[in-house]
C-alpha cells in the first residue's frame, strides 16, 4: 500500500432528486439506500481500505453534516474531516482537500470520489483506480473514470475519448453535460463516448497547476491561506476563502478546459444513484417487477418502486410504473416516467409548505 496515496470522499451534497428520502437535514449519503446495513458514506470509505492507509482518507462535508459524519465514521480523526462553511460545488471542495494534502505531502497521489455512488463490482473498480494511480504517479495528468453507457441517459455527463487500442487510458476529446435524448443516442451509437462518473485521480502537483491555470483566483486564495491549514487558524481561513470562491464544479472549472485529461474506461456496475429510477434499475424486483422496501401491501401493482418506514403501512392498488416513497413527514406518489418533476415538487414544498418539508 503506497503511503503517497490519498482518498478524498465528497459528502456534502443534498441529493434533492432522491427526495423525500434525501433531505437537507439528512442527505442520501447518510442513508442505507440499498438495504446493506451500511450508509452509502460508510460503504464508500470501506471501499478504499485496500487503496490507501486509513490516515490518508479525508472526508469533505458541509459543516451542518459534521456530526452525521462523526456518527457514521467514528474512527475518522477530526483532522481528516474537512468542514465547508457553505456549499460552493465541487471545485472549492476539491481545492480545499488537495491544498491541505499537498501541504502535508507534496508527492501525494489523490483519488476524489463522491460518497453517494453505487459500485457493484468493487474488485473491478479498485483495479481501475490503481491503474489510474499508476498513471498519475509519474505524469502530470488529470484522470477521470468513464462508464460505458447502456442507454441514452440524459441525467449523466458524457466524455468523448480518442481511442487508443493498446491502452485503457484514453485521451479525452470533449465533455458534454446532460445532452438531449437524441444526442445521447448518437453518443451511444458512435461508441466514442462514456458516462462521466465524477471520480478523479491526479497527483497534487498536477491539480494545483490546473487550479493556477484555469481557476487562478481560487488558487491564489488557497495558496495565500496554505500556512493556516492544519493550524488553529484553519477554520477562520476556510470561512474567508469560501466567501471568495465561485460556485463552480471541477468539471466546468478545470476538466473541460485542460488539455492533459485522460479517461479510464471502466465496467464495474456504477450508478450515481441520483434518481429513483436509477435505484429501481439496480434493485432486485419481485414477480410483479416491483422494488419493495418497508411495510407494504400491494394489489395489482407492477413496475413500481415502493419505500416505506416499518412503523407505517402503505397499501397501494392498481398502479403501474409508479414511485411511492414515504419518509418522515412526507408521502410522495409520482409516475416513474415523470421523476424529473421531483425538483419542482421540492421547490413547491419549500415555497408553499415551508422548510420542514425539504
Q: Is the pLDDT of residue 167 over 80?
A: no
Q: Is the pLDDT of residue 66 over 90?
A: yes
- Using one digit for the tens of pLDDT, what is the confidence trace for 87-102? 999 999 999 999 999 9
User: What per-residue confidence (pLDDT) applies to 248?
Assistant: 94
DSSP-derived pairing of the beta strands 158-162 and 193-203: antiparallel
Mean pLDDT along residues 17-36? 89
Mean pLDDT along residues 269-275? 83
- Using one digit for the tens of pLDDT, what is the confidence trace for 284-329? 899 999 999 989 999 999 999 999 988 889 999 999 999 999 988 8
Q: Is the pLDDT of residue 166 over 80?
A: no
User: What per-residue confidence (pLDDT) applies to 17?
Assistant: 85
| pLDDT level of residue 273 (50, 70, 90 thresholds) | confident
User: What per-residue confidence (pLDDT) applies to 93?
Assistant: 96
171 and 164 Cβ atoms separated by less than 8 Å: yes
| pLDDT level of residue 191 (50, 70, 90 thresholds) | confident
| Cell numbers linked to 308 | 416505506
Neighbouring residues of 189: CB distance < 8 A, sequence distance ≥ 6: none
| pLDDT level of residue 8 (50, 70, 90 thresholds) | very high
308 and 282 Cβ atoms separated by less than 8 Å: no
Mean pLDDT along residues 169-193? 87
pTM (two decimals): 0.92
Q: Is the pLDDT of residue 340 over 80?
A: yes
Mean pLDDT along residues 157-179? 86
- Residue 126 burial (C-beta neighbours within 10 Å; 0-12, 13-18, 19+): middle
% of the chain exceeding 70 in pLDDT? 100
CATH class of residue range 5-271: alpha beta
| Cell numbers linked to 112 | 476524489
| Cell numbers linked to 218 | 481560487
More confident position, 37 or 60: 60
| Cell numbers linked to 205 | 502537483
User: What per-residue confidence (pLDDT) applies to 2?
Assistant: 82
- Residue 15 burial (C-beta neighbours within 10 Å; 0-12, 13-18, 19+): buried
Residue spans per domain, the chain: 5-271, 284-353
- Using one digit for the tens of pLDDT, what is the confidence trace for 104-142? 999 999 999 999 998 988 999 999 999 999 999 989 999
DSSP-derived pairing of the beta strands 193-203 and 142-147: antiparallel
Helices 216-225 and 90-104, packing angle to 10 deg: 40
Amino acid at each position: 500500500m503506497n503511503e503517497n496515496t490519498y482518498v478524498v470522499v465528497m459528502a456534502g451534497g443534498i441529493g434533492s432528486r432522491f427526495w423525500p428520502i434525501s433531505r437537507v437535514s439528512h442527505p442520501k449519503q447518510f442513508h442505507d439506500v440499498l438495504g446493506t446495513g451500511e450508509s452509502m458514506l460508510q460503504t464508500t470509505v470501506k471501499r478504499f481500505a485496500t487503496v490507501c492507509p486509513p490516515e490518508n482518507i479525508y472526508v469533505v462535508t458541509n459543516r451542518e453534516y459534521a456530526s452525521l459524519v462523526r456518527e457514521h465514521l467514528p474512527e475518522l480523526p477530526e483532522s481528516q474531516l474537512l468542514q465547508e462553511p457553505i456549499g460552493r460545488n465541487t471545485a472549492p471542495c476539491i481545492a480545499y482537500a488537495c491544498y491541505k494534502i499537498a501541504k502535508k505531502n507534496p508527492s501525494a497521489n489523490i483519488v476524489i470520489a463522491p460518497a453517494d455512488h453505487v459500485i457493484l463490482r468493487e474488485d473491478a473498480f479498485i483495479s481501475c483506480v490503481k491503474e489510474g494511480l499508476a498513471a498519475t504517479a509519474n505524469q502530470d495528468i488529470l484522470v477521470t473514470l468513464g462508464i460505458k453507457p447502456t442507454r441514452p441517459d440524459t441525467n449523466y455527463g458524457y466524455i468523448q475519448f480518442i481511442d487508443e487500442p493498446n491502452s485503457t487510458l484514453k485521451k479525452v476529446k470533449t465533455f458534454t453535460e446532460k445532452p438531449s435524448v437524441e444526442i445521447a443516442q448518437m453518443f451511444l451509437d458512435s461508441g466514442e463516448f462514456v458516462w462521466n462518473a465524477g471520480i478523479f485521480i491526479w497527483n497534487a502537483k498536477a491539480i494545483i497547476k490546473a487550479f493556477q491555470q484555469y481557476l487562478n483566483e481560487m488558487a491564489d486564495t488557497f495558496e495565500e491561506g496554505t500556512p493556516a491549514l492544519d493550524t488553529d487558524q484553519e477554520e477562520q481561513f476556510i470561512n474567508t476563502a469560501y466567501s471568495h470562491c465561485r460556485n463552480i464544479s471541477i468539471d466546468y472549472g478545470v476538466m473541460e478546459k485542460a488539455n492533459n485529461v485522460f479517461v479510464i474506461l471502466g465496467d464495474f456496475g456504477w450508478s450515481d444513484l441520483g434518481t429513483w429510477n436509477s435505484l429501481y434499475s439496480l434493485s432486485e424486483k419481485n414477480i410483479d417487477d416491483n422494488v419493495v422496501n418497508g411495510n407494504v401491501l400491494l394489489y395489482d401493482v407492477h413496475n413500481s418502486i415502493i419505500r416505506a418506514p416499518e412503523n407505517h403501512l402503505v397499501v397501494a392498488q392498481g398502479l403501474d410504473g409508479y414511485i411511492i416513497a414515504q419518509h418522515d413527514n412526507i408521502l410522495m406518489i409520482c409516475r416513474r416516467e415523470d421523476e424529473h418533476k421531483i425538483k419542482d415538487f421540492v421547490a413547491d414544498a419549500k415555497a408553499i409548505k415551508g422548510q420542514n418539508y425539504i
